[in-house]
């Protein structure tokens, strides 16, 4: 059982929370979810009658974009599914292992039914009869809780045959990972459900035409599904107006690093970064902000002055030179050595490369060894250029995005903090204190 943390005040996720509204850490079960209006969106669709096309049109109109990293239009993704008969699947990607990201864990342990309801609505929209939720193996207790929630939903008739007296049938199961970051990549995840090594597939074909067991499949992130019930219930316009055009709704940001209160905060898309930082209690020990990775470790790092002028939505962060990604905000203060921070990330990508593509398998190791020798004072003139050249030769040359994810931090850390790399090569010691 999950024993840590709760209960906590119901407004802990922020005053504008929608997905995590009224969550206190204890009220996760079905009866509590129904008291919060749970399963009313599914009822609206099945009993009042919305066609699958109506649902997809509503999701498109809301400007809900994928919460896992790529930020692709959810409604558009659903519309790619073939309309004909035959087995189709809906899959939830809860394999949350992108360093800095810890929102899906809270969603699944404190509000699991909102994910179940969102998946059921998606299944109805894309005409799938079976779904799987792939849960990160490291959060075993959360996996067990999700199984409990599934049992509740089955017993209450929200899963199974003739849901709410309709002809809609949907079965949903949980599948756990066991320690492989790459399975957060959607086609690696499908391979993993099929009982194989999690090695990404070539795309195309995309999962909508060739997915799980070769059948048409839609895969979305946990938070994306969790956004769907309120979107359907309140309407696309209301959802869209929570955020800004092309960036509908609220987003859970996982704030970690040198802040007073690391944690998850659900805010309207378009909220200034400065406000988010304040919700997290501001900078720890009164130190100055130095750098922020705004969207998980795979996204480019940005310097303090850029972040302080940026709003937290897909388009604003892209304009600032990074990506919103998974919404993992890693905050680093003035005491941090940027070379050492990059070293740990480079080790991660080297460790987690699946080994399938040569540029990534060999290149991530090479990146790590180069950053390591700079960091430990044995770097040579030309190493920085070598790192940049190597990064350019990995990015875009692999089956999946892990190669790019390894290259982007290297390029951005050098772009914004090059003097720290140069200082280390010249003086054999760090310009600043280390982590």
Q: What is the contact surface with another protein in residues (CB under 8 A)? A: 4-5, 96-102, 104-105, 132, 136-141, 173-181, 192-198, 213, 254-258, 262-264, 297, 328, 330-332, 336, 341, 344-345, 348, 351-352, 354, 435
Nearer to another protein, 41 or 292 (CB): 292
| Least distance (Å) between residue 54 CB and another protein | 30
Nearer to another protein, 217 or 256 (CB): 256
Residue with tokens 């994810």: 405
Give one DSSP letter per residue of 172-188, joined into a string. Answer: EEEEE--S-GGGGSHHH
Q: Please tell me whether residue 162 adopts helix, strand or coil conformation.
A: coil
Nearer to another protein, 58 or 223 (CB): 223
Query: What backbone torsions phi and psi does residue 343 show, to the nearest 5 degrees?
Result: -55, -45
- Judge contact between 88 and 78, C-beta under 8 A: no
Nearer to another protein, 62 or 222 (CB): 222
| Least distance (Å) between residue 329 CB and another protein | 10
| Least distance (Å) between residue 76 CB and another protein | 27
| Least distance (Å) between residue 97 CB and another protein | 5
Say what the alpha-carbon torsion angle 117, 120, 124, 130 is, to the nearest 10 degrees.
180
Nearer to another protein, 99 or 359 (CB): 99
| Least distance (Å) between residue 241 CB and another protein | 29
Q: Which two tokens stand for residue 382?
A: 């030309």
Task: Tell how many helices (H) and how many strands (E) occur in the chain.
Answer: 17, 11
Nearer to another protein, 69 or 100 (CB): 100
| Least distance (Å) between residue 182 CB and another protein | 9
Q: Which two tokens stand for residue 117?
A: 């309801």
Name 369's bridge partners. none
| Least distance (Å) between residue 52 CB and another protein | 23
- Judge contact between 189 and 180, C-beta under 8 A: no
Please, what is the end-to-end C-alpha distance for the chain in angstroms? 34
Nearer to another protein, 62 or 254 (CB): 254
Nearer to another protein, 38 or 262 (CB): 262
85-120 b/e (C-beta count within 10 Å ≥ 16 → b): eeebbbbbbbbbbbbbbbbbbbbbbbbbbbbbbbbb
| Least distance (Å) between residue 196 CB and another protein | 7
- Judge contact between 205 and 215, C-beta under 8 A: no
């Amino acid at each position: 059982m999950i024993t840590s943390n709760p209960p906590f005040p119901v407004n802990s996720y922020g005053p504008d929370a929608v997905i995590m509204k009224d969550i206190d850490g204890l009220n996760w079960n079905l009866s509590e979810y129904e008291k919060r209006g749970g399963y009313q969106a599914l009822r609206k669709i099945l009993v009042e009658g919305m066609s699958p096309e109506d649902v997809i049109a509503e999701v498109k109109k809301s400007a809900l974009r994928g919460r896992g990293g790529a930020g692709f239009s959810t409604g558009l993704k659903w519309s790619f599914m073939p309309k004909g008969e035959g087995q189709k699947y809906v899959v939830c990607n809860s394999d949350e292992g992108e360093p800095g990201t810890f929102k899906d864990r809270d969603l699944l342990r404190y509000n699991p039914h909102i994910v179940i309801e969102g998946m059921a609505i998606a299944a109805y929209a894309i005409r799938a009869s079976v779904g799987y939720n792939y849960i990160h193996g490291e959060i075993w207790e959360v996996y067990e809780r999700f199984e409990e929630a599934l049992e509740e939903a089955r017993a209450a008739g929200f899963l199974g045959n003739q849901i709410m007296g309709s002809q809609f049938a949907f079965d949903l199961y949980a599948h756990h990972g066991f320690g492989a970051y790459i399975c957060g990549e959607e086609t690696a995840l499908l391979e993993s459900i099929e009982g194989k090594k999690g090695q990404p597939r070539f795309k195309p074909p995309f999962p909508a035409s060739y997915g799980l067991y070769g059948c048409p499949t839609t895969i979305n992130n946990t938070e994306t599904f969790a956004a769907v019930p309120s979107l359907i219930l309140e309407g696309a316009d209301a959802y869209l107006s929570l955020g800004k055009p092309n960036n509908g709704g609220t987003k859970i940001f996982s704030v970690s690093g040198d802040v007073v209160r690391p944690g998850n905060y659900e805010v309207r898309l378009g909220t200034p970064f400065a406000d988010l930082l304040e919700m997290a209690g501001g900078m720890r020990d009164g130190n100055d902000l130095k750098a922020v990775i705004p969207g998980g470790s795979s996204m480019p790092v940005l310097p303090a002055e850029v972040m302080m002028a940026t709003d937290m939505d897909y388009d604003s962060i892209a304009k600032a030179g990074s990506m919103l990604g998974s919404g993992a905000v890693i905050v680093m203060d003035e005491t941090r050595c940027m070379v050492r921070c990059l070293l740990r990330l480079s080790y991660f990508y080297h460790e987690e490369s699946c080994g399938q593509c040569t540029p990534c398998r060999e290149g991530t190791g090479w990146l790590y060894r180069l950053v390591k020798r700079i960091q430990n004072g044995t770097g040579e003139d030309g190493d920085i250029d070598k790192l940049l050249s190597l990064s350019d030769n990995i990015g875009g040359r692999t089956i999946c995005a892990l190669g790019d994810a390894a290259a982007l931090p290297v390029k951005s850390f050098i772009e914004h903090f090059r003097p720290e790399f140069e200082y280390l090569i010249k003086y054999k010691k760090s310009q600043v204190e280390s982590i």
